[in-house]
Chains A and B, each alone.
Chain A
C-alpha cells in the first residue's frame, strides 16, 4: 500500500493534541507546551511534512528524538527550542551519517510533538509512525530497542549549548540510566536523540501510521462534539475500540515509587455496567483494567479513559472522584505483543508476574 504524505497545518494542532493525549493511555505528559511551540514555528513559516513509512529508502537514516526530564520542569523551564536538534546533530556526527527523516519514539502525549519541532528546524520530513503506538515511561520500551537496535551512540543536549554524546553503551538500560542522570544535571529538561536507524529497519519495526491515527482520533472527537453526537460511541465506531467499562470514579490513590507515579482508581459501573466494579492499576500510564476482580485489559494493550459526556481524554493525573468516564481499549500493535516485546512491556515488566497477557482482540471473540 502506498500513501501520499501530507503537511501538518495549524488547524490540525488541536486534533493532534487530543489524539496524542488519548493514545498516551493516561500518561505521556501534557502536549500543551509542545503544541504552542509547533504553532509558533508554523506561524513563522516553518513546514512539517509527514511521510508514510513506505516512502523511506532502505539505506536512508532516520533519527529519533524526544524530551527527557521531569514533567514539572517542562511547564516552568520552557525549552530554548533547539535542544533536540543539537542532540540529533550529536548522534549524526558520532555515527558519521546524516538523517533523512525524523520519527517519534512515543506517539502518546508530549513526545509526539517534539520530533515535529526538530523536523521543522532541520528541514526534514517526519515519519508517520512511532516506536510504541502509545506512551511508556522509559526509553528502552520502544520497538526500536526491543528488536535489537544497537543503542550506540545516543546524545543529550541542554538549553545552553552543551551536548553529551554516549559514544558506546553496552545496552539500552545503561543508556537510559546515563541519559536520566545527565538530564538532571542539565536541569531535568533536555533533548534526547537515539542512534540513527536505517530506513529498512524502521520500515520493519516501527508501529505504522500512528500520527495519522492520532490526528484521526482527535478529529473524530472534535467532529462528534461539534455535531452534538455521543463522542465515545463515535470514537468506538471510527477506531474499532472496545468499550470496556462505563462508570463513576469512586476513589483514586497515588504515590511516588522509584520515581514513577504509581496508583489505582476505583470505578463503580453505570449504564450497561451498573452493578459491576472496576479498578485501574496505574504506573504513569493505565496498566491493567480489572472488572469485578478479573483483568480484562492488560498492558501493552491500550487502556484509555475519556469523560463520558465531552469525550475529553483523562490522564492519570487528572482522574478524580466523581468523574463519569468511559474506559475504552485498543489492541496494541502486533510488534508490541511478541514474546520478546512482552519481556519489556508486558504485565510482568510492570510488576504483575501473576497476570498473563491476554490480548483484547482474543477476549472479544
Chain B
C-alpha cells in the first residue's frame, strides 16, 4: 500500500511517501496562510521525489493544526449552545464558567441547564423532561444557533440521557450540529463538557477544511481516500473528522512521537522533537504517546480528552545564546524561521544554538569561518547549558528509573551531542520529517473509559465488556477486524465508594481497512 503522510505545522508543511514500511521520499514546503497552497505544493514535491503518479496513491493521512489555531485565535467559530443535563445537581457552576471571556463571547456563551443525568452507580439524578428540552430548542432556533453540545452527569457511565436528549432536540432542530460529551471526553464534567462545546463550535470550520483538503487532493490528481490524524496517534476518516474536529488537537506532537517510534523501530522511549524555537518531549509507551493524566488547557480552556503528555521548553535550532553576569542563557527567544538569515554562521548578527554547534565542529552548516572566532569557553558553557536543558526535559517525561533510549527528531536535532542524562540517543533516518511519517503510519483506534460496579460482575467480565465495546468503536471507525489488538488496559478502584466501583479504561488499535 502506498500512502502519503502530510503534517501541516506552523512553519513547514512536511510530506512523506511510504510504500508499506519503506519511506520513498520526504519533503518540506513552507506552510501558507491559506494552508491548502502549502499542502498542494508539498504533495506535488513528494510525488515528484518518489517518481509516482497521483493515481498510485492508496491513502492520504493529514495532521493539521487548523482547529487548534481556530480556537487559540478565536476565529471561524460557530455560535454554539451548551445543554447540560443534571438538574438539580450542577446548578452551582453553569457551562463555560471558567472560559476566557473573549472565547465565550466568540461562540455566544449560550448555556442551558436541564433535568436528567445519572449518579455514579447508574441511578437517574432526575428524569429527562421533554417539554423542558423543547423549550430550549425554541430558544436555540430563535437565536439562530447552529451547533449544540450536550453534556450529562456521568454520561461516560451511561450515555442514555445524552442520546435521548439529542433525539428530542434534533426533531425540533433538524439542521443543527450535535456533539455529545460522552463521544469525546472522560469523567470530569466541566472538562468533558468544555471539549464537547469546542468540538461543536468547530463544526462549520470542519466541513470547510475537510472540503478544502478534498479539493487540494483533487487538484493534485489524487483519488485516494484521506484521513485526519487524532491526538492519540490514530486516524479518522473525512466524514468522522467533520463531526469530531476537536480530536485533532495536539496531533502534531503525537505524530512526531509515532514517527520517531516507527523510524527507530523502538516502541518504548523518550522522544525529543527539536524545532527552531521549542522542543517537545513526550514518552513513547508501547508504540503510542503516553496520554496526559491531568487537565490540559487549549486556548485557555481546561479539557480532559486524550491529549499526549508532552512538555515543551524553549530550546531550538534558532534559540538565542546570551552570555551575561549570571552565566550563559539559551532561549526561550529564537530567530525562528529567520535562522538562515540572522544566525552568525549564515552571515547574520545573532548568536544562536546552531552557531554554537557549528563552531564546535559538530554540524556542517553555513560558513564555518563566520563562527571561528567564538570564545571556546563560551562554546563549552553554551553546550553544557543545552545539554542541561535537554536532560531536564527528558527527566520530566520519565516515569521510572528504567534506562529508556531517547529518540531525537526534528530539524534542530543537531543540538544533541552524545547521550542525554546518561541515556542512549537514537537519531533515525528521515528524522527531519518524523511528524509526516507519524501521520502516514497512523492506525485506527477504539477507546472506552467507564465506571463498572464489580458487585454484579467480575473484574475480568468488566474488562471484557469494555474491550468488546472498544473493538466495536474501532471497527466502525475503519479498522480491519482481524488486526485489532489491545494496547492499554487500566482498572482503578475508586476511593470512598462501595460495591467495588472500578473505573476501567481499554484502548484497542487496528490497521486501516482501505479495501
- Roughly how many angstroms separate A81 CA and B86 CA in the complex, as a whole number? 13
What would 13 A/B residue contacts be, using CB atoms closer than 8 Å? A40-B93, A70-B497, A71-B495, A77-B89, A77-B119, A77-B120, A160-B88, A187-B119, A188-B119, A188-B497, A250-B401, A321-B398, A322-B398
Residues of chain B with a CB closer than 8 A to A274's CB = none
B48 within 8 A of A: no
Asked if A37 and B93 sit within 8 Å, CB to CB, the answer is yes
Selecting from A194-202, A255-263, A342-350, the interface stretch reads: A255-263
B45 within 8 A of A: no
Residues of chain A with a CB closer than 8 A to B87's CB = 80
A219 within 8 A of B: no
- Bin the interface of chain A by size: 20 to 34
Contacts A69-B496, A70-B494: A77 and B86 contacting too (C-beta < 8 A)? yes
Selecting from B182-190, B201-209, B481-489, the interface stretch reads: B182-190
- List B91-148 residues whose CB lies under 8 Å from chain A: 91-93, 97-98, 117, 119-120, 123, 125-126
Contacts A40-B92, A159-B88: A73 and B120 contacting too (C-beta < 8 A)? yes
Chain B positions 204 through 245: 1 when the CB is less than 8 Å from some CB of chain A, otherwise 0 = 000000000000000000000000000000000000000000
Residue ranges of B at the interface with A (Cβ–Cβ < 8 Å): 86-93, 97-98, 117, 119-120, 123, 125-126, 153-154, 187-190, 294, 395-401, 493-498, 503
A271 within 8 A of B: no
A9 within 8 A of B: no
A240 within 8 A of B: no
Asked if A77 and B154 sit within 8 Å, CB to CB, the answer is yes
What is the CB-to-nearest-CB distance from A115 to chain B, in angstroms, rounded to a whole number?
15
A55 within 8 A of B: no
Asked if A72 and B88 sit within 8 Å, CB to CB, the answer is no
Asked if B495 and A33 sit within 8 Å, CB to CB, the answer is no
- Roughly how many angstroms separate A250 CA and B402 CA in the complex, as a whole number? 10
Residues of chain B with a CB closer than 8 A to A250's CB = 401
Asked if A184 and B498 sit within 8 Å, CB to CB, the answer is yes
Task: Select which of A75, A79, A318 is within 8 A of B187 by beta carbon.
Answer: A75
Contacts A187-B125, A322-B398, A322-B399: A79 and B497 contacting too (C-beta < 8 A)? no
Chain A positions 126 through 160: 1 when the CB is less than 8 Å from some CB of chain B, otherwise 0 = 00000000000000000000000000000000011
Task: Select which of A36, A69, A80, A261 is within 8 A of B98 by beta carbon.
Answer: A36
Residues of chain B with a CB closer than 8 A to A33's CB = 93, 190
Residues of chain A with a CB closer than 8 A to B497's CB = 70, 72-73, 184, 188, 259
Residue ranges of A at the interface with B (Cβ–Cβ < 8 Å): 33, 36-37, 40, 69-73, 75-81, 159-161, 180, 184, 187-188, 250-251, 256, 259-261, 318, 320-322
Residues of chain A with a CB closer than 8 A to B86's CB = 77-78
Asked if B117 and A78 sit within 8 Å, CB to CB, the answer is no
What is the CB-to-nearest-CB distance from B379 to chain A, in angstroms, rounded to a whole number?
27
Residues of chain B with a CB closer than 8 A to A188's CB = 119-120, 496-497
Residues of chain A with a CB closer than 8 A to B294's CB = 318
- Roughly how many angstroms separate A161 CA and B358 CA in the complex, as a whole number? 72
- Roughly how many angstroms separate A256 CA and B491 CA in the complex, as a whole number? 12
What is the CB-to-nearest-CB distance from B488 to chain A, in angstroms, rounded to a whole number?
18
Residues of chain B with a CB closer than 8 A to A77's CB = 86, 89-90, 117, 119-120, 125, 153-154, 189
Asked if A80 and B188 sit within 8 Å, CB to CB, the answer is no
Residues of chain A with a CB closer than 8 A to B188's CB = 75-76
Asked if A78 and B496 sit within 8 Å, CB to CB, the answer is no
Contacts beyond the supplied A40-B92, A75-B188, A320-B399: 19 A-B pairs with Cβ under 8 Å:
A37-B92, A37-B93, A70-B494, A70-B496, A72-B120, A72-B497, A75-B190, A76-B154, A77-B89, A77-B189, A78-B90, A78-B153, A79-B90, A81-B91, A161-B88, A188-B496, A251-B401, A261-B495, A322-B396
Asked if B120 and A76 sit within 8 Å, CB to CB, the answer is yes
Task: Select which of A72, A79, A256, A259 is within 8 A of B92 by beta carbon.
Answer: A79
The CB with the most chain B CB atoms within 10 A, among A71, A159, A184, is that of A159
Residues of chain B with a CB closer than 8 A to A187's CB = 89, 119-120, 123, 125
Smallest Cβ-Cβ distance to A71: which chain B residue: B495
Asked if A76 and B496 sit within 8 Å, CB to CB, the answer is no
Residues of chain A with a CB closer than 8 A to B153's CB = 76-78
The CB with the most chain A CB atoms within 10 A, among B86, B88, B117, B400, is that of B88
Asked if A321 and B401 sit within 8 Å, CB to CB, the answer is yes
- Roughly how many angstroms separate A40 CA and B125 CA in the complex, as a whole number? 24
Residues of chain B with a CB closer than 8 A to A80's CB = 87-92
Smallest Cβ-Cβ distance to B156: which chain A residue: A76
- Roughly how many angstroms separate A260 CA and B98 CA in the complex, as a whole number? 31
The 5 closest A-B pairs by CB, nearest first: A81-B92, A70-B496, A159-B89, A187-B119, A78-B90
Contacts A70-B120, A75-B187, A77-B119: A321 and B399 contacting too (C-beta < 8 A)? yes
The CB with the most chain A CB atoms within 10 A, among B123, B153, B294, is that of B153
- Roughly how many angstroms separate A161 CA and B126 CA in the complex, as a whole number? 12
Residues of chain A with a CB closer than 8 A to B93's CB = 33, 36-37, 40, 78
- Roughly how many angstroms separate A79 CA and B154 CA in the complex, as a whole number? 14
- Roughly how many angstroms separate A76 CA and B501 CA in the complex, as a whole number? 15
Asked if B92 and A78 sit within 8 Å, CB to CB, the answer is yes
Contacts A36-B98, A250-B401: A259 and B88 contacting too (C-beta < 8 A)? no
Smallest Cβ-Cβ distance to A255: which chain B residue: B493
Asked if A259 and B91 sit within 8 Å, CB to CB, the answer is no
- Roughly how many angstroms separate A362 CA and B125 CA in the complex, as a whole number? 53
Residues of chain B with a CB closer than 8 A to A78's CB = 86, 89-90, 92-93, 153, 189-190
Residues of chain A with a CB closer than 8 A to B493's CB = 256
What is the CB-to-nearest-CB distance from B305 to chain A, in angstroms, rounded to a whole number?
15
- Roughly how many angstroms separate A321 CA and B97 CA in the complex, as a whole number? 33
Task: Select which of B398, B400, B494 is within 8 A of A72 by beta carbon.
Answer: B494
Contacts A77-B86, A78-B190: A259 and B495 contacting too (C-beta < 8 A)? yes
What is the CB-to-nearest-CB distance from A259 to chain B, in angstroms, rounded to a whole number?
6
- Roughly how many angstroms separate A261 CA and B399 CA in the complex, as a whole number? 20
